[in-house]
Amino acid sequence: MTGLRIWLPAVFWAAMIFVLSSMPDLTPDVELFPYSDKMAHFVLYAPLGYFLMRATSLHPGPMQHHPLLWAVIFGVLYGLSDEIHQAFVPGRTMDPFDWLADGIGVVFGALWQQRFASKNRRK
């Protein structure tokens, strides 16, 4: 597996997040439970972390030496850029706690992929 095919799932997922972030005010009038908006950020960013971990571990070059670190760096920076982007979308705001939820989701997804990949290598 090389080049774009390695990165395609992560790029697709990041594009989907961008499209959702471009929509004005997706927040429902009534919260389902406290901090449900933060859970939504976590749920959207966990797959991104998974796909980034997969890509950084398969991409030839220096990222293979520390794929978890690179996946988290890329995911957290993307989350930051997404929060900045939302500051310019009508009805949306930049929220550092959303960014925190994004980052926790990225770390969870990357660790999940790392565990999944190591299980498959042992079989």
- Residues in CB range of 102: below 8 A, 6 or more apart: 41, 42, 44, 45, 75, 76, 79, 82, 83
Q: What is the pTM of this model?
A: 0.88
Per-residue model confidence as pLDDT tens for the chain (123 residues): 567 789 999 999 999 999 999 998 766 666 667 777 899 999 999 999 999 999 999 988 888 889 999 999 999 999 999 999 999 999 888 999 999 999 999 999 999 999 987 666 555
- Which value, to the nearest 10 degrees, does the dihedral of the CA atoms of residues 65, 66, 68, 70 take? -110
Q: How far apart are CA 52 and CA 75, in angstroms?
A: 7
Closest CA to 58 of 1, 123, 120: 1
Q: How far apart are CA 55 and CA 113, in angstroms?
A: 10
